[in-house]
Amino acid sequence: MRTTNDLTPHAATAAAILPLVGGAANVTSVAHCMTRLRLGLRDRTLVREDALRSLPAVLGVVADDDSYQIVLGPGTVTRVTPEFEALVTSTADALAARGAQWKAARQQRNATPLKLLLRRIANIFVPLIPALIGCGVIAGLGGLLVNLGWLPSLTPALAAIASGFMTLIAVFVGHNTAKEFGGTPVLGGAVAAIVVYAGVAKVTAFGMTLAPGQGGVLGALAAAHLGTYVEKWCRRWVPEALDVLVTPTLTVLITGLVTLYALMYTAGELSTATGAGANWLLDHTGVFAGLVLGGLFLPLVMLGLHQALIPLHTTLIQQQGYTVLLPVLAMAGAGQVGAALAVYVRLHHDQSLRTTIRSALPAGLLGVGEPLIYGVSLPLGRPFVTACAGGAAGGAFVGFFSMLGDKIGSTAIGPSGWALFPLLKGTGGLALTAAIYAGGLLTGYVVGFAATYFFGLGRTVGGVGAIGGVGTVGGGGPVGGGGAVSGVCDSSKEGQNTDPGGNPPP
């Protein structure tokens, strides 16, 4: 057995976390999203939260109906999770069956149709985010080299690398859709591949010739979803002796014909309408649209409704090369940073809170909002609302330039804040696109700071006390939803917010 001194930093973090959540016997499931280690726990009273928050690698904790989430940050969580799983598996194999039953029963009690649908959407698209980010950064680098006229022999290779995944993203969506809905993943990928196959240009549907890629990810999702129903029907009726031959054939044939003669055209019209609608919204009502989107994004995330935006972003990226919505929504994070800075300045006597802000601010600037949200704005109450005001102002700034014809977008989803700069693309030059986005961030910082400084903190600010780390906050928040999350994590649904500074929740 390895000693503590033999452990890597990530293995040491996993080893430190395990006893603080009740040990392996208390862990029923282990998973992670972009920033959090997500644990199913048998008895949450065994968790030693104060000690857990005090670990150097832990940015905070969040509890919801389904899981106990430990915020570790992007990159770190992907390295700690397998180490944690190894520790749990080595001592808890005998509990796996009971843990799975416990988790299923808990999910069934707390499941609602909307919540289940959004979770399924997230499960389909979230695994694609690393590839979207990587290809988006390469596309941005290639575009920069083209604009500067540098390395002309290399830029075609970069374009090929960046575009390969986006060309075939429908296949990956189909694979994940079939997996999520209980079908055979490769059959989902097979029927989705029809959408991007060049030969569909010879097929006519509704009096129109189809185009490769028509319908995009929405068509692929619909095709793979239909394929799971066809496959399950075949499994019930086809004799076992013929199943291996007949079921895949009928699944691909029936679903393929429906995809060609119905789904591609319908999904294509929907995708076109989505792109046109997003462009019209920012072109004609840019300031108002930016105000609403930037101001309401944090509450949307708290309610878990942000998951519905993932297919929209992906559709826009596939159709136009970038999503015009993400830079506007990213302004919510700028408002949060501004609000946290105002709290830092006003509550200069509360060293514990100021320490929390100092440690969480770098992550907030890079678009990871959980530490600031759960450690600062939500526990204090009103600063969450003033942070939304900062996001609204930043969104209106970006929307104003869109009305002038200078739209900006992101070539991938996932990053936010300063981390979004390498992914920016727009109708103007690179410098103008970056300047507009930077102006939006600055506006969000300033308005979030000013609104919080003057209106976000009551006269009684002396009793704030320590808010060590990131508190476990839930459904009784300022907008009546669950705790806010960033990126693609699920929302919290339980709990009651209090205001340590004497401010009633808004």
Please give the helix or strand (H or E) that residue 437 lies within, else none. helix 430-451
Q: How far apart are CA 268 and CA 311, in angstroms?
A: 14
Q: How far apart are CA 437 and CA 442, in angstroms?
A: 9
> What letter does residue 503 receive in the DSSP assignment?
P
> What letter does residue 323 receive in the DSSP assignment?
B
Residues 382, 476 contacting (CB under 8 angstroms): no
Please state the φ and ψ torsions of residue 425, each to the nearest 5 degrees: -150, 145
Q: Is 69 exposed, middle or buried (0-12, 13-18, 19+ CB in 10 A)?
A: buried
Residues 224, 171 contacting (CB under 8 angstroms): no
Q: Rounded to whole angstroms, what are the CA distances from 10 to 57, 58, 103? A: 9, 11, 27
- Residue 135 among the catalytic residues: no
Please state the φ and ψ torsions of residue 238, each to the nearest 5 degrees: -80, 130
Tokens encoding 457: 């903190």
Please give the helix or strand (H or E) that residue 60 lies within, else none. strand 60-63
Catalytic option among 33, 135, 388, 489: 33
Tokens encoding 149: 């006229």
The catalytic residue positions are 33
